[in-house]
Amino acid sequence: MSTALFAGSFNPFTRGHLRIVERALKFSDKVIIAIGCNIHKASETDLDSRVNAIQKAVKPMGEKVEVCSYTGLTAEFAQKTGADFLLRGVRGITDFEYERNLADVNLKVLGMDTVFLIAEPEFSYLSSSTVRELAAHGHDVSSLLPPMND
Ligand code: ADP
């Protein structure tokens, strides 16, 4: 039984994030999506509603996907949940530099490994901040977000 912890701000959770979860389920039994309070990023949306929205998005995947929120160090939280590794997505070179640094610390200091999935080309441009920006200017962002299942 292998469990991945996919941590992020998910503000909002996009189709790009959803694809990472779907692809990870091909090689892990369970994915825990954990919304972290990152002090470097504003978390203007209420955490509970973000958890709710993600739960609706991942409903078709059933019990293999769990959604929660956490505070503190990601790798410490991962250990508490019993996750075997951290899961992250990489869209390009900018993500890579940032992610490599994080992965390095998480492995050296906390002994937690990170598995990376390279974004598919059709999602490599997609970021939560782009979605927020477009939405703030009145654009329809529904094609960038996963379908919500009730
Ligand atoms: P964080 O604040 O931790 O970077 P994000 O919600 O922005 O949180 O991203 C969470 C993870 O998902 C990161 O590893 C990020 O690189 C990845 N990610 C974000 N958007 C995409 C996308 N379109 N395709 C693949 N991975 C993505």
Q: pLDDT 10s digit of each residue in the chain, 150 long?
A: 899 999 999 999 999 999 999 999 999 999 999 999 765 555 555 788 899 999 999 999 999 999 999 989 999 999 999 999 999 999 999 999 999 999 999 999 999 999 999 999 999 999 999 999 999 999 999 999 999 887
- Give the number of the atom of ligand 1 that is nearest the alpha carbon of residue 123: 23
Question: Of 41, 80, 100, 139, which one is the catalytic site residue?
Answer: 41
Ligand 1 geometric centre to CA of 63 (Å): 22
Contact 29, 61 (CB under 8 A): no
Ligand 1 geometric centre to CA of 150 (Å): 25
Does the annotation count 41 as an active-site position?
yes
CA–CA gap between residue 123 and residue 118 (Å, rounded): 10
For residue 3, the surrounding DSSP H or E stretch is strand 3-8
Q: Residue 97, class by beta-carbon neighbours within 10 Å (0-12 exposed, 13-18 middle, 19+ buried)? A: exposed
**pTM exceeding the 0.85 threshold for the entire prediction:** yes
CA–CA gap between residue 24 and residue 120 (Å, rounded): 13
CA–CA gap between residue 34 and residue 31 (Å, rounded): 9
